[in-house]
Every structure is written in C-alpha cells, then in structure tokens.
Amino acid sequence: MNLESQKLMRAFPNFKALIEGSHVTGGDPQGLLEYWIQNRQPICDAIEKPGTFLDIGCANGFLLACLQLWSAHQITPYGVDIDAGSLAMARDLLPEYASHFAQLSLGALPTRANLGLPTGFDYVYWNVWDGLDFDEPLCQTYAENAFAAARGGGRLILGFYDTDHGAVRRQLEWLVGRFGAYSKRLKLDTEFAWWDCEPRE
C-alpha cells in the first residue's frame, strides 16, 4: 500500500462508500482506492494557486474533499449536481461549505448566481461524460457554460475517462477549435485538459 492510499484511508475510513458515491465502482476496496487516486489526484497539477473551485457534477463532494487534502494550495470548494440526495451527502461531508452546493444542471449553470453561487471561479472542473458529441448543439452549450464559469481569469479543467480514445480525440479537437490552445496531462487511461481564460480587467 502506497503512502497516498494510507493518507486517504486515515482521512476517510469509509472511502469505499465515498468513492462509489462518486459514481466510480468495481474491484476490491484497495484496487478501487488506487484507481481513484491515480485517476483523480492529477487534477492537482492544474491547481497552481489558492482559489475557488467549482466541481460540475460534484456528486457526494468526495472529489472536492480529496483535492483539499492533496493540493499544495488551499481551495474553496463549490459544487453543483442535479441529484438532491448526492448534494445532501456533500453538505454532510463538507459542512463548513454547505452553502456552496446547489442543485443545478450544467445546462442551467448560467443561473448559478440566483442560488447564491459566485458568477466566476478560479477553477472549474468538469468530468466530460463518456460519448458526449460536441457536434450536437446542446453539448456545445454545455461546454460554453463550463467555460463561461471560469471566464475572467479562471481555469477550466476537463477530465476524460472514456476508454474510447478516438472519442476523446474528437472531443478535444472540437474543444481546441472552440477555445484555442490548451495544456493537458495524460495519466494512464485518463486525459486532462485545461484552458486559462482571459484575466479580469
């Protein structure tokens, strides 16, 4: 067992339930924990300074809690999800930030200020759904909404977990065409891309 696994187990003894509550399943508990760390901890590479961090589709908030543990920089967590039960678990996991979670879809993200969330964030993370086709207008709207949440000096971070690497390449081609140059990190079967938005004037 590596040091990172030990650290996470000490901080979250019920880690298996928390990971499964983040919609990641399969394998024995130790294998599941190692997969989670290998495929989520690299997000920290994109966190280069303290700031607000929005997780789109935050589920039970476990990713945000892990990023707080892993990152060398302090992040203030925010999350949106369409599932009220998952949001309740997120508020229980991060009670200090209970007001930072809102029931909101990605399509309705532009209305976030109506629910008390900031209009812009230093970091916005979106785990791009498998099979998402950016040739579809609705999917383009999703990408635009995520980008807009980081507009004004923030960083949009995208995670790709689709094992169809051809589909991921097609997604990236559209995104690069729309948003311009990007930095990315490849980790096992996971690819991350991030865009820095124009600074606030």
Residue 76: predicted pLDDT: 98
Mean pLDDT of the chain: 90
Once rounded to an integer, what is the mean pLDDT over residues 18-33? 89
CB atoms within 10 A of CB 34: 17
83 burial level (CB within 10 Å; 0-12, 13-18, 19+): middle
Reported confidence tier of residue 189, pLDDT bands at 50, 70, 90: low
Once rounded to an integer, what is the mean pLDDT over residues 178-183? 79
Residue 25: predicted pLDDT: 84
Once rounded to an integer, what is the mean pLDDT over residues 16-40? 90
- State if pTM tops 0.85: yes
Please report the domains of the chain, with CATH numbers, ordered by start residue: 3-196 (3.40.50.150)
- φ, ψ of residue 32 to 5 degrees: the values are -65, -40
SS (H, E, C) 104-117: CCCCCHHHHHHHCC
- φ, ψ of residue 123 to 5 degrees: the values are -135, 135
- φ, ψ of residue 178 to 5 degrees: the values are -85, -45
Q: Which of 40-44, 72-76, 159-163 has the highest average model confidence (pLDDT)?
A: 72-76
